[in-house]
Structures are given as structure tokens and as C-alpha cells.
Amino acid sequence: GNSVTQMEGPVTLSEEAFLTINCTYTATGYPSLFWYVQYPGEGLQLLLKATKADDKGSNKGFEATYRKETTSFHLEKGSVQVSDSAVYFCALSDRGRDDKIIFGKGTRLHILP
């Protein structure tokens, strides 16, 4: 079945550092890929998405490129801020298969001032 694997946290960085959170997926079809972010005490919210191979999703300085050849969707940001501290979830949805959204286990990010 479909699955998502992302790097385990926590990840601790200093402010203005470069961020990469790795995500790889397994899917039989042509899924859409997502990154969601969860701030303390809140539900998940969409950060960015890509719906087909080679698409790049971007938002708030974060980027991720849908790489079909490596089945990856790594999240990157060039200069992180304290306010980026949160839990980040990689996810996929394959509407051609069913309506399920499959989430990774989440990566907790701490940014130190």
C-alpha cells in the first residue's frame, strides 16, 4: 500500500540556518504530495503541495520538489526563523486509488534564537 517515510526528529537549528527535512514515499499510482505544519495546540494546516512530477510547491520561504525518480519530496528553507518551530508532516493522496491521505510520523523542529 501507499506509505510515507520522513526523517525522525527532533531537529534543532539556529536561527538563519538552512533546513532540510527528508521525505520519501511509496505509491502505486500518481499521488499528490503535501507538507503540513502543526503549531502547538493547533490542528495541521497545509504548508505546500505538488500534484505531479517535477512540480515545486512553495510557501512562506519553504520549498519542496516532487521527484518521481527518487520518490522524494524533501522540504527545504534557506533561512529558518524561531517562528518556524513546529511539527512538520509529509503526506500523500492518491485520488485515483481512494480518498485516503497518508501522513508520515512528523518531524519536530526547534529553532534557537
Contact residues toward other proteins (CB under 8 A) are: 32, 34, 36, 42-46, 49, 51, 89, 91, 93, 95, 98-106
**Coil, helix or strand for 58?**
strand
Least spacing, CB of residue 73 vs other proteins, in Å: 14
C-beta of 49 vs 77, nearer to other proteins: 49
C-beta of 46 vs 82, nearer to other proteins: 46
Least spacing, CB of residue 15 vs other proteins, in Å: 26
C-beta of 93 vs 109, nearer to other proteins: 93
Least spacing, CB of residue 46 vs other proteins, in Å: 5
Least spacing, CB of residue 13 vs other proteins, in Å: 22
C-beta of 15 vs 98, nearer to other proteins: 98
DSSP single-letter state for residue 96:
T
Cross-strand partners of 108: 87
Question: What are the C-alpha distances in Å from 18 to residues 61, 63, 74, 82?
Answer: 11, 12, 13, 13
Amino acid at 52: K
DSSP single-letter state for residue 94:
-
The span from the CA of 9 to the CA of 7, in Å, is 7
- Count of residues in the chain: 113
